Structure formats: C-alpha cells, structure tokens
Structure 1
Amino acid sequence: MNVQLFIPCFVDQLFPETGFNMVKVLEKLGCNVEYNPNQTCCGQPAFNAGYWDEARSVANKFVKDFHTVDYIVAPSGSCTGFVRNYYGKLFDNSAAHNEVKTLRKNLFEFTEFLTDVLHVTDLGASLNGIATYHDACGALRECGIKEGPRKLLSNVKGLELKEMNDCETCCGFGGTFSVKFEPISIGMGEQKVNNAIASGADYLISTDLSCLMHLDGYIRKHELNIKTMHIADVLASGW
C-alpha cells in the first residue's frame, strides 16, 4: 500500500521526530511511505483568521502537491479536519472541485488510518507508566475520532490508560486564539494539565502536537511532573 505523508508546519519545524516515528510505524505495517518535499501549509491559519483568499492560494498549492490516488496520512486531526471539512467551501464551483473531492476522501489522521483503514490496534509497542488521553478538538469534533486512539493505547505493553475529568474539553490552544486571548488560553491549559495530573498519569497523550505544544509550555514553566507525548511516538516505543 502506498502512503503519502502530510507533515504539518509545526511538526516539520518543531517536532520532526514524530514524523519519523510515524514513518517507522507505517513501514512496520508494510506501507510504502513517500514524502513530497514541496509540501507546505494546508492553509488553516489564514482561513481561521478570516483571510480566505490567502488561504485559498495556500490550499491550491496543497491540492497540487497531493494530486494522488494514494492514501495521505497526517499526524494531526486539526489539519486533517480542516482539509476534509472546509476545502469544499474554499473550492466550491471551482475547476479544482473534483481534485478536492478525491483529496478529502484519501486524507486520514494517523490513528484513524491505523484503525479504520489498516484495521490494526496492536503495534507491539511498550511504554511503562500511566497515561491519560486528551481528545483534541480537531480529531474529536472535525474527524469524529474517539475510540481508535484509546484502543491503540490500551494495547501498549506496560501502559495503563486512565481517563481524566473533562477529557473532551478544549486545551485552550486554538491557534491564534492562544495569542489573541492569552489569559483565557492559559487558564484552559492549566485546567487541562491539572486534570491530567489528578488522574495520576505520567504521560499526557494526544493525536495533535498543537495541543501538546501548548500544554507542554505550561508544564515546563511550572516544572510539573508529567510528560506530553504524541501517540505516534508512543506507538513507536519499545521495538
């Protein structure tokens, strides 16, 4: 099976090891993984800020970069959800309509691809400790991802999964929201981290590094004893 990687901007710039771990997992499962180095942003930041024309220009490049019949897999529910749910608005009645339709059908968030396409829930991973899972807004609300990541984590040897209070509540990042409404964003992040710590977890895990980046900033500043991990990094552990 051929798989094209879509690596979001912040993963490329700040967390490249997660991208490599995603490749590690996919290749273990027999996928032929390819990466187009010309890819850039999906256009979500500009779209959310109200700059639809600028977002359309970036999105048009994305459509051309991923003009393929292969599956496209991304370590982000947020970016996946944006392409899947909003590209139709950007390209409605345009010449790219059919290409966008195919793109939206072929694009999957990483855990979604593992559980729904490859039908895999046990990667043979191992990680000792207690973990709690944060439902990122993009994955949960835009892609409907809920049980898949939990099934994957439940099969990680040595890892005990505990639910925290308000696991579906936003962490407060929200892209530019965290800049425009910093005090509210920090308060929401604080609540999320406190709930994770109260669960007894050693690890706070999610599908989205945007959320984890925000939460890790709060954790580091206050020197708290909990570690954030993207689920791809967890599934690539121990083998």
Structure 2
Amino acid sequence: MLAYGIDIHAHKAALKNELPTIAVFGNGLDTLYPGQHRETARKMLDRGGWITENPFGTKPDAHNFPARNRIIAGLCDALIVVEAAEKGGALITAEIANSYNKDVFAVPGPVDMPFSAGCNQLIKTNKANLLTGVGDLEYLMGWNSAIPEPHRSGQLQLHLLSPEEQQIVRLLQEKNAPVGVDEISWRTGIPQGTLASLLLTLEFNGSIKSLPGKMYGLT
C-alpha cells in the first residue's frame, strides 16, 4: 500500500505530523513496490511499519492485492474512500470493511467525473457515510471531546426512564460524544438484542439521536 495517489499522500502526511502509519503489502517484505517510494517506506519503519501475509519472494502481482485489502479493512477503525471509479480495489476494500461492521466514509465528487463514480455510488447505496471534512470524521467517530449543541442535562427527566434506559443516557452524558452500539452494549452490559429496542424507545421520546456510523448521541 505505497501506491501513487491517496495511499502515498496519506503516509507522507502521517509522517509529517509524526503519526504512526502502516503499509500493507501485496507482496513479500523483500520487495518495495513501487520502488520510487522507497525513501518514504524506510521512514515508516521508525513510525509504524510494514505488514504482509506473503512470504519473501512474492511478487506484486495483481491477484495479490484484493486479498490484501481484507487486512487493510480489518486494521482500520474507519475506512475513507477519497476517489474511486465504478470498479476497483477501493470498492473491494469498502465492501469488506462493511462486512466487518467497520465504519466506511466516502468523499463525494462531481457526477460526471469517472473517479468520483465509486464514491458517489457508495453514498447513494448507503454503503458509506458522506464525508465533507475532518470535522465529520472526528464527530461521527467520537474522536472529538465536544459535540455540537451539547445536551442540557437538566432537560432530561431521568426518573421517567427505566433503569436500563438511564444507564444508556448516563453513559452518553459521561462520554459527551457519540458512542457506538458495540461500546454501549459493552459498557452497560445490555445484550445487543435488548439494546436495539431500548435505543429505539429513547429515540422516540427524544432523549437520544441516531447518527451515521451506528453511533448515538444526546439530542
């Protein structure tokens, strides 16, 4: 994953900002492909690394890359598709990420641009959340400590809620940021089947709101 385009730009931006970054190869670790990005790849060893499931001597043949994409999807917290044609590796990775229940985002583009067709299709078919800037990602993933229009706790009448509903609301108040369904279930100990019904009830009574990416926040 040192390809021209968004891949290498993402690695370089991470290194520039002193963030860890990982390349997932579709070949053996004894081959750097493309070779023009050798310098960037070597810098990544000090801040991140390289990963592959292929043994030494494996060439960067085309059939290796779709298989590699499942590792990318498995490693990420969220997958962002910046540009994609109607068919290609980015869409394969997005499909795999969705099957892993990962959050998928896509940057929309002009309807007449070939390399925006894949992103627009992902958004249109609800296979990706629309992403217009880094603020969207921070908010929807709960990486930002502050959320727009924070809920006024005094407006919530907790005594009218069931004990389990109170657990959910208190968790969202403590986090003060969107929280995913899996985390709500884990932190409250409420089974997923029961949780789905409770979340729906809380939505109906205006206590919480559903957000893209299987997240929930206070209204």
Question: Taking CA–CA contacts closer than 8 Å with sequence separation of 6 or more, which of the two structures ends up with the larger relative contact order?
Answer: 1
Shared fold (TM-score greater than 0.5)? no
TM-score (norm: length of structure 1): 0.27
